[in-house]
Structure 1
Amino acid sequence: MTDIFHEVSEDMRRERAQKLWAKYGNYVLGAALAVVIGVSGYVAYQHYQKQQIEATGARFQEAIGLAQAGKSKEAAAALSALMKDGTTGYQTLARFRLAAETASDKVEDGIKAYEVLAADSSLGPVLQNLAKVRAGYLLVDTASYADLAGKIEPLTGAGEPWRHSAREVLGLSAWKAKDLADAAKWYQAVITDKDVPAALRQRAELMLQLIASDQPAKA
């Protein structure tokens, strides 16, 4: 008797399932198909993005190669093209590299290019501050120490990502202005920072030796 009831129950479930499938089966198949298409589309898009990034990276390296070969105009043209149609990250790299190439040809134009980058809020504070430091290196020969300190000194604090370079800029500026006390202060800040890159530390140590030799002898 139990088997009969079980078979009737199974038949009823089967019939109910068939009715549900007849009513909603197309929707289920459509949803499943949409998932498959969505996943396939996402994978294809990821592959496309990867190809675009790799292609843009190759173009950027070609531009760098042109610059290193002394073909400044060709390099500038290649970098300008990347700024227009390269992937986002390489567009930013191209802007910074083009500013550097511009500075190698004409310092004043390079300073302006970095100042434009420093004023571009879409880059974010870290890259904006990097542009300020790069401009600072170029301004050392022309700007007064006071003017440069007003622009760069906020970037010298502990925890600032570009503090090492910012301190070097101000140390060099003060030294050129014959302000040996401030020059020594900034170079000392460089060498006492445990995270300073080795090459920068060496430069700072050499400058401190030079500053010490410039100090007037004590009576």
Structure 2
Amino acid sequence: MARNPTELPKDEQPTGPSREDEILMREIDEAVRQDDAAQFFKKYGAALGGAFAVLLVAMFGYWYWDSNREAELERQSEAIISALDSVDANDFAGASEKVAGLVEDGSPGARTVARFLQAGAALEQGETARAVELYAAVVADTDAPQPLRDLALIREVSANFDDREPADIIVKLEPLAVPGNEFFGSAGELVAIAHLEAGNRDRAGALFAEIAKDEDMPETLRSRARQMAGLLGVDAIEDVEQLLEEEGGLPGEGALPVALPQ
């Protein structure tokens, strides 16, 4: 028959805590935990709540900004596409009007495209001064992509080329008129013509020859530059047989030889 633990001799008493002690210890531990949690939230609850609120505001703000940004970019794209449709319909005044708002408050890219469209429309309507002004605005816009600024500079100069001093043209475009530059062909031809008008025949001929020898240039431009170089006494032909082949094939038997620039 089992005896009550309290009736056991002292040396046979259980050494571990009793069930009542375990329950009491758990209650004390839980109370301590609750007290620690209460103290923690009492001390840091306001700061944590504020941080969480800031996080929510930031997340909502980013979502709102991103949504508005996408909507605004979509609106700008639609305006440009609509303007291009007007250009296709030869409605240049309408095209210019459709992108007018982008010049004022569009993104740098949209603003630049809008100015190009307006400048092109102005040229089609015979408003050269207005076109030059718009191209110059693109050149001066430091937020515009650099390649578009360079292209605008070429368009600005070419729009009223005959009214400019050759020295002014050379100063403006010579930095672009170097082999390897993406606008070497367009800028180089304009600079070569300016040198020719200024009486610098040697420099003009050398530049035409450089363009003619550049295989990355369009063939129409190379052919034109080759002819100009030949007229100026500069040999721009590196491979005669290749040139003959490109311009209609090697002369057959009995055919007259092709006259080449000397």
Question: Which band: TM-score by shorter chain?
Answer: 0.7 to 0.9
CA contact (8 A) 2:208 2:226 kept: no
CA contact (8 A) 2:205 2:232 kept: no
Structure 2 letter corresponding to 1:208: A
The runs of 5 or more residues in structure 1 that have no matched partner are none
TM-score of the pair, normalised by structure 2: 0.65
Q: CA RMSD in A?
A: 3.4
Residues 7-46 of structure 1: pairs in structure 2 closer than 5 A? 7=26, 11-46=31-66
41-50 or 121-130, which deviates more = 121-130
Aligned to 1:83: 103
Gap change, CA 1:9 and 1:152, over 3 Å in 2: same
Deviations 1:115-170 (A, max 9, x none): 34334445476544332211122233443433311221122246655334311322
Gap change, CA 1:122 and 1:114, over 3 Å in 2: same
Measure the CA separation in 1 of the matches of 2:141 and 2:85: 27
Match of 1:151 among 166, 172, 178: 172
Match of 2:190 among 158, 161, 169: 169
CA contact (8 A) 1:188 1:204 kept: no
The runs of 5 or more residues in structure 2 that have no matched partner are 1-15, 234-260
Match of 1:208 among 210, 225, 237: 225
Gap change, CA 1:113 and 1:174, over 3 Å in 2: same
CA contact (8 A) 1:191 1:204 kept: yes
CA contact (8 A) 1:175 1:183 kept: yes
90-99 or 16-25, which deviates more = 16-25
Structure 1 letter corresponding to 2:102: L
**Percentage of pairs with the same residue:** 21
Measure the CA separation in 2 of the matches of 1:152 and 1:117: 15
Bigger Cα Rg: 2
Measure the CA separation in 1 of the matches of 2:117 and 2:46: 56
113-122 or 38-47, which deviates more = 113-122
